[in-house]
Structure 1
């Protein structure tokens, strides 16, 4: 026998009051469940938002790591394959981002640059001479690292070139 039944027998509570108390108790329990459900939903939403932020942060970190790895590959390709300039005495002029720059090379290196067998790459503020094949690999990773890569020279002039009869002297420097 419940406390409510005992109070009704004793005449302290009417049947109407007992029903009202049961309804209030039921409403309070139901309201408590909705508060608990709202709290659960809010916690789940916060977890989802945190997971999304973590995913974005991980993606940014991964992209940064890939960028650093790519830069390391470029640096390694250039430094390992750099041709020694052997304190050349010929000035070779080229354009770097709109300004004319000069490096000193040997006659053999100058001919390699002119023929497109060698290229000029830039790391930081320093210029390196590298083979054309290596320059193409570097350009695939970052085209801005290659400052100069001439097309391979063809020995035969074009058929419809109006200046085919006028050869450029070998000692012409600008």
Structure 2
């Protein structure tokens, strides 16, 4: 039987046992790396690249959601600040009734006569936060509605005040002092 080259070199005394062992280990190591390099890294690299891409997409989506939430929070804060700064003090003894769309109930707010007339004509609007109602000018209510639409509770429809051409009672307007 033929001896391996390493055995022949050992018997001839040209190489010691330690060097022969190191050469054999190096040979095994390179063959393993070649086998792994051909089959596994392609599949694992593809899988890892796919996982990285999916994770990056998830991170981008979470970042978009986070930015959107921060933006909505900032707009809401701007709306509340506008309401507090431009509130019209209209407290009085005249009751003004309006529908609160958040709870679908009729609410009352006590205002003075001029505020009641302006609310009815649509020059003033009613906005609300969780705690209280604000009477603000219509232009402020429009700006608040752009930022946070849920804050605007009541704005009188100015078109509803004008009678239709076909209305048989258009010559008989409802008096302004009519209270229910």
TM-score of the two chains, using structure 1 as the length reference: 0.76
1:88 alignment counterpart: 92
Query: Shift of the alpha carbon at 1:168?
Result: 1.2
Query: How many residues align structurally?
Result: 159
Equivalent of 1:30 in 34, 38, 53: 34
**What is the aligned partner in structure 2 of residue 21 from structure 1?**
none
Question: What whole-Å deviation, never above 9, does each CA across 1:49-88 have from its counterpart, x for those lacking one?
Answer: 3212211221111111011011112112211111012x30
Residue from 48, 60, 71 that aligns with 2:76: 71
Q: 1:30 to 1:112 in 2, by over 3 A?
A: same
Residue equivalent to 2:45: 40
Equivalent position of 1:15 in the other structure? none
Unaligned runs of 5+ in 2: 11-27
Match of 1:14 in 2: none
2:24 corresponds to which residue?
none
TM-score by length of 2: 0.74
For residues 131-150 of structure 1, what are the structure 2 equivalents within 5 Å? 131-150=137-156
Measured in 2, the distance between the counterparts of 1:32 and 1:155 equals 83
Shifted more, 35-44 versus 63-72: the winner is 35-44
Counterparts of 2:162 and 2:66 in 1: how far apart (Å)? 52
Residues 39 and 158 (structure 1), Cα distance of their counterparts in 2 relative to 1, 3 Å cut: closer
* Residue 44 to residue 154, structure 1, CA distance change in 2 (3 Å): closer
SS of residue paired to 1:165? coil
Show the 5 A alignment for 1:101-140.
101-140=107-146
